[in-house]
C-alpha cells in the first residue's frame, strides 16, 4: 500500500470513528453511559490521534490530544459526562471532521477553522484544570531487595530518576573488571543522584577471598538516556551479575502512551514492552528463563505469567504491564473483527458490476444463437451458463448492498441540533434500519432525507404549548422507517405534527397560477403541489425554510433515482412522506413484452399476472379504459396508443397486470416474450423527459428495448381516472394490492 492509499484509508476510518463517537454521545442523552461505551469513545479518539501522527497531521494530533485527555478523565471517574460536556464533545467531533476534510481538500490552513479549534481547546482545558490525577501505584520491588534498600537507607525510588539495582558476580574481579569503573561510566550518561553500597554479602574476614567481589549497589540515576543505553553500560558483566533497571515514575505515562500508539500487530506481551522501551531484550530473555524454570534456584517461577515475573522482579511498572495487556487484547479483538470484512474500492466494485452486465448481454446473445441453431447440447450448455451468470450477478449486486441504518443514525444529531435551534422538544424514532439497498442509492438519498426531516421539524411539528392545547404529547416525534415492497424499498419520513393545510396550499397555488380557478383537484394532487418549484406556505423566512427551495429538489433527486415520492397527510394529525426506490440501479430481472415491432421490459417484481383478452373483452375495451378482472375493476393503458406506435393490433392481445405502491393497473401488449435479465442503460439527457420510459437495455440480438417506468405509467392511470366520470352502476375504485 503506497502513502496515498494509506492516507485514504486513514480518512475513511477517521470518519467512521467520528460517526461512532457521535452516535455514542447522542445515546448518552437518553441513557446513562456505560464503562464500555466510554472506553470505546476513548479508543476512537486515541486511534484517530495515533493514525494522524503517522502522517504528520499535527493539527489533528494536537486537537484530538485535548479531547482524549478529557475523555481519559471521564473514563477514570474524575469527570461526569453531563449534557454540557457531551455538547462540547459533539462540537469537537464536528471540528475533527472539518480537520479531516481539510486533509482531503489539501488546503494548507484555514484561519477561521484554526480559531474555532483554539476556542474548543480552551474549553477542553477548563476540564483539565481540576484536581490532579491520583499517583500510579509504586512498582513492586522484590522483598529481599526492598529490605536491603531500607537497611542501606536507599529509600523510595525517586519519581524522576531511574533506579538501578546491581549485584556483581563473584568472578568480576578475576575477569579483570573494576565494578567502580562501570559506575563512573554510568555518570557519562547522566547524573548519579545517590548510591547505596550493600555490604551484607561480605563474609567474615577469615572467610573472605580477596579475588572475589561481594559488593552490591542501589543507585538513583537521572538521565535522558533510554533503558537500552543504560543497560549497555553493564554489557560486559551482564552474564555474571544480577542487574535490574526500573524506569522513572515520570516515564510510566510515556510508556503507556507509546504502547497505545503501537500499530495493531500480533505481538506477545514481552515484545510490546520491548517495542515501547520499558523492557530490554536481555531483560525479556532473563524473564523467559525464569518462566521456564531453567536457571538453578528459580524455585516456583516456572509456569508463571511473564507479566507477573517482570513486576515481581522490579523490571517494569505494573501500569505499563497493564497497558501492554490491554493493547494485546485490543489487537486480538480488532483482528477478529477485521477478519470478517475486507475493504474494496468502490470504483473496482462498479467496474465488476459493469463487467457482469456485459456478461449478461453476451449470455443472452449466446442463448439466442443456440435456440436458432436448435442444437440440444448447445442449448443445455447456454442454459447452464445463463444460470451461473445469474448467480454471479446476484452475488456481485449483493456486494453493493448496505444497510440504511448508518444513514438513518446520522439524523440523530440533526434532530438534536435543529430542535434546539427551533426551541422545540422533538425526538427521532428509527425503525427498519436493517433494510438493505444499493450503496449508490444510499449515497444519493442522504440530501433528500435531510430536506424532509428538517421540513417536518420546522413546518410539521408544533411548539410544545400548541401541542398540549391540542391534546398531544408536549414532545413531538419525527419517524424514519424503511421496508421492502414490490421489489423495491420504501423510506418513510413521518411526523405527528399539524399536517398539511389543504385550503392554504390551494390558495397559494391559485396565487402562483399553478391551478386554474374552479379546477377540481383531489387531496393527493393538492398535497403534491408542495413539490412544485418555488412553492412555500411559510409566513416568514427562517434559516431552515421558507424560500420555496428544497422540496422540488427532493422530487428531482428522487426521480433521478427512478423513484417516486408520495404524501399522505391529515390536518392536525400529521404527515407521512413515502419515497419508493428501486433496490439497485444496475441490473434487474425483467419481463419482456412486444408491441408492433418494438420491445419493452417491465420490471419483473412489479408484474402480478398476465391475462389474454377475449374477443368480447377486446370489443368492450375499445370504448372503456378498464376491464372486469374476476370481479375487480382494473384500469389499463394501451402501450400502442401511449407511444403512438404504427400498425393495427394483432388478433391476440394480452394485459400485463402490474402493481406498485398499492395501486394496480394493466398494460395492453401484443406479445409476451418471457423473463429477461436486464442491464439498465441510461437514455441520455436528450431523452430524459420522456414519460413512461425509465431506461433502456440491449437484447441478445443486439436490438435495444426500452424499460418501462411503471410508477410513472400508474401515475398517468391514477390521474386519468381521478378526473374521469364514474361509469354507470358505481364509481371506479382503484384496485389495492
What b-and-e string marks burial along 241-280, b requiring 16 or more CB atoms within 10 Å of the CB?
bebbbbbbbebbeebbebbbbbeeeebebbbbbbbbbbbb
Cα first-last separation, the chain: 53
Is 555 a residue whose pLDDT tops 80? yes
Burial zone of 92 (CB within 10 Å; 0-12 exposed, 13-18 middle, 19+ buried): buried
pLDDT greater than 80 at residue 50: no
Angle at 161 between CA 160 and CA 162, to 5 degrees: 135
Strand, coil or helix: 165: strand
Q: Any idea how long the chain is?
A: 737
If you average pLDDT over every residue of the chain, what do you get? 79
Domain boundaries, the chain: 3-128, 143-336, 346-400, 403-582, 587-723
**The CATH number of the domain covering residues in 3-128:** 1.20.120.160
Q: What are phi and psi of 638, to 5 degrees?
A: -95, 115
Q: What is the mean pLDDT of residues 274-281?
A: 77
Which pLDDT tens digit goes with each residue over 309-368? 887 777 787 878 888 888 777 777 666 555 566 777 778 888 888 888 888 888 888 888
Looking at per-residue pLDDT, the higher value among 736 and 239 belongs to: 239
Lowest mean pLDDT segment, chosen from 214-218, 447-451, 545-549, 619-623: 545-549
Tell me: pLDDT of 694 over 50. yes
The string of pLDDT tens digits covering residues 558-570 is 888 878 888 998 8
Minimum mean pLDDT range among 255-264, 577-586, 672-681, 693-702? 255-264
pLDDT at 492: 94
Question: Span 724-730, mean pLDDT?
Answer: 42
pLDDT confidence band for 735 (50 / 70 / 90) = very low
Question: What's the confidence (pLDDT) of residue 264?
Answer: 62
CA distance 294 to 310: 16
- Answer yes or no: are the C-beta atoms of 529 and 514 closer than 8 Å: yes
DSSP string, 10-28: HHHHHHHHHHHHHHHHHHH
| pLDDT above 80: residue 437 | yes
Does the structure show a pLDDT above 50 at 649?
Answer: yes
Residue 3 has pLDDT above 60, yes or no: no
| pLDDT value at residue 473 | 92
Q: What is the pTM of this model?
A: 0.58
User: What average pLDDT does range 692-705 have in this prediction?
Assistant: 84
Each residue's pLDDT tens digit, 463-484? 999 999 999 999 999 999 998 8
Q: Which residues contact 711 (CB under 8 A, 6 or more apart)?
A: 563, 564, 580, 660, 661
**At residue 494, does pLDDT exceed 90?**
yes
> What pLDDT, on a 0 to 100 scale, did the predictor assign at position 431?
92
Considering the domain delimited by 403-582, tell me its CATH architecture.
2-Layer Sandwich (3.30)
Question: Percent of the chain, pLDDT > 90?
Answer: 12
For residue 139, pLDDT over 50 is answered with no
Mean pLDDT, to the nearest integer, of 584-613? 87
Is pLDDT above 60 for 130? Answer: no
What gap in Å lies between CA 614 and CA 135, rounded to an integer?
Answer: 93
Average the pLDDT over each of 9-18, 151-160, 332-341, 681-690 and give the range with the smallest value: 151-160
Longest Cα pair distance anywhere in the chain, in angstroms? 135
What confidence score (pLDDT) does residue 362 get?
Answer: 86
Q: Is the pLDDT of residue 726 over 80?
A: no
Q: What is the arithmetic mean of pLDDT over 34-63?
A: 84
Report pLDDT for 702: 81
Q: CB of 168 within 8 A of CB of 226?
A: no
Just give the CATH number of 587-723. 2.30.30.40
Mean pLDDT of 540-554: 58
Compute the distance between CA of residue 68 and CA of residue 221 in angstroms, rounded to an integer: 32
Handedness of CA 153, 156, 157, 160 (dihedral sign): negative
Mean of pLDDT values over 27-32: 76
Amino acid at each position: 500500500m503506497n502513502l496515498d492509499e494509506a492516507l485514504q484509508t486513514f480518512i475513511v476510518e477517521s470518519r467512521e470513528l467520528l460517526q461512532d463517537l457521535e452516535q455514542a454521545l447522542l445515546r448518552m442523552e437518553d441513557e446513562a453511559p456505560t464503562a464500555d461505551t466510554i472506553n470505546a469513545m476513548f479508543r476512537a479518539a486515541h486511534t484517530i490521534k495515533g493514525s494522524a501522527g503517522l502522517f504528520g497531521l499535527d493539527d489533528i494530533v494536537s486537537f484530538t490530544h485535548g479531547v482524549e485527555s478529557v475523555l481519559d478523565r471521564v473514563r477514570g471517574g474524575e469527570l461526569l459526562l453531563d449534557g454540557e460536556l457531551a455538547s462540547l464533545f459533539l462540537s469537537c467531533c464536528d471540528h475533527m471532521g472539518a480537520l479531516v476534510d481539510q486533509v482531503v481538500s489539501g488546503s494548507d490552513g484555514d484561519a477561521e477553522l484554526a480559531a474555532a479549534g483554539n476556542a474548543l481547546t480552551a474549553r477542553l482545558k477548563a476540564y483539565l484544570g481540576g484536581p490532579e490525577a491520583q499517583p500510579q501505584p509504586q512498582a513492586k520491588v522484590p522483598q529481599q531487595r526492598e529490605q536491603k534498600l531500607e537497611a542501606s537507607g536507599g529509600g523510595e525510588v525517586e519519581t524522576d530518576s531511574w533506579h538501578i539495582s546491581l549485584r556483581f558476580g563473584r568472578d568480576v574481579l578475576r575477569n579483570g573488571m573494576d565494578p567502580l569503573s562501570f559506575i563512573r561510566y554510568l555518570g557519562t550518561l547522566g547524573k548519579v543522584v545517590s548510591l547505596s553500597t550493600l555490604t551484607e554479602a561480605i563474609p567474615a574476614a577469615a572467610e573472605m577471598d580477596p579475588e572475589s567481589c561481594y559488593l552490591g549497589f542501589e543507585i538513583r540515576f537521572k538521565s535522558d538516556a533510554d533503558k537500552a543505553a543504560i543497560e549497555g553500560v553493564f554489557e560486559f558483566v551482564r552474564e555474571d551479575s544480577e542487574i535490574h533497571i526500573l524506569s522513572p515514575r515520570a516515564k510510566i505515562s510515556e510508556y503507556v502512551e507509546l504502547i497505545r500508539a503501537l500499530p495493531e500487530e500480533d505481538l506477545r506481551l514481552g515484545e510490546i514492552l520491548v517495542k515501547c522501551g520499558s523492557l530490554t531484550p536481555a531483560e525479556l530473555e532473563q524473564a523467559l528463563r525464569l518462566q521456564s524454570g531453567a536457571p538453578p534456584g528459580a524455585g516456583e517461577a516456572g509456569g508463571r505469567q511473564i507479566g507477573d515475573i517482570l513486576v515481581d522482579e522490579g523490571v517494569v511498572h505494573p501500569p505499563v504491564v497493564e497497558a501492554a495487556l490491554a493493547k494485546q487484547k485490543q489487537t486480538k479483538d480488532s483482528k477478529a473483527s477485521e477478519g470478517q470484512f475486507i475493504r474494496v474500492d468502490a470504483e473496482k466494485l462498479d467496474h465488476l458490476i459493469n463487467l457482469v452486465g456485459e456478461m449478461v448481454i453476451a449470455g443472452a446473445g449466446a442463448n439466442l444463437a443456440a435456440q436458432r441453431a436448435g442444437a440440444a447440447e448447445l442449448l443445455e450448455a447456454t442454459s447452464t451458463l445463463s444460470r451461473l451468470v445469474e448467480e454471479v450477478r446476484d452475488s456481485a449486486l449483493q456486494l453493493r448492498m448496505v444497510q440504511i441504518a448508518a444513514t438513518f443514525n446520522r439524523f440523530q444529531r440533526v434532530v438534536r441540533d435543529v430542535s434546539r435551534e427551533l426551541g422545540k422538544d422533538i425526538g427521532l424514532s428509527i425503525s427498519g434500519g436493517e433494510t438493505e439497498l444499493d450503496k449508490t442509492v444510499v449515497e444519493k438519498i442522504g440530501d433528500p432525507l435531510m430536506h424532509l426531516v428538517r421540513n417536518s421539524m420546522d413546518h410539521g411539528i408544533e411548539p410544545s404549548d400548541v401541542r398540549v392545547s391540542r391534546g398531544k404529547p408536549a414532545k413531538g416525534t419525527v419517524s424514519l422507517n424503511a421496508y421492502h415492497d414490490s421489489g423495491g424499498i420504501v423510506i418513510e419520513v413521518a411526523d405527528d405534527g399539524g399536517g398539511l393545510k389543504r385550503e392554504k396550499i390551494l390558495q397559494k397555488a391559485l396565487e402562483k397560477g399553478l391551478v386554474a380557478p374552479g379546477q377540481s383537484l383531489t387531496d393527493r394532487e393538492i398535497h403534491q403541489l408542495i413539490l412544485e418549484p418555488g412553492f412555500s406556505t411559510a409566513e416568514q423566512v427562517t434559516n431552515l425554510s421558507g424560500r420555496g427551495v428544497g422540496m422540488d429538489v427532493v422530487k428531482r433527486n428522487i426521480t433521478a433515482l427512478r423513484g417516486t415520492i408520495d404524501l399522505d397527510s391529515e390536518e392536525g394529525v400529521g404527515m407521512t412522506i413515502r419515497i419508493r426506490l428501486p433496490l439497485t440501479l444496475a441490473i434487474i430481472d425483467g419481463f419482456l413484452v412486444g408491441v408492433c415491432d418494438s420491445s419493452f421490459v417491465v420490471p419483473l417484481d412489479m408484474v402480478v399476472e398476465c391475462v389474454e383478452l377475449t374477443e368480447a373483452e377486446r370489443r368492450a375495451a375499445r370504448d372503456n379504459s378498464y376491464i372486469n378482472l374476476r370481479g375487480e375493476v382494473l384500469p389499463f393503458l394501451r402501450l400502442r396508443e401511449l407511444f403512438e406506435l404504427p400498425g393495427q393490433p394483432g388478433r391476440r392481445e394480452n394485459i400485463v397486470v402490474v402493481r406498485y405502491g398499492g395501486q394496480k393497473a394493466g398494460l395492453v401488449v401484443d406479445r409476451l416474450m418471457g423473463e429477461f435479465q436486464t442491464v439498465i442503460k441510461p437514455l441520455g439527457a436528450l431523452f430524459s423527459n420522456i414519460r413512461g420510459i425509465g431506461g433502456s437495455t440491449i437484447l441478445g440480438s443486439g436490438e435495444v428495448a426500452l424499460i418501462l417506468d411503471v410508477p410513472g405509467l400508474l401515475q398517468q392511470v391514477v390521474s386519468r381516472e381521478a378526473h374521469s366520470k364514474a361509469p354507470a352502476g358505481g364509481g371506479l375504485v382503484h384496485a389495492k394490492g
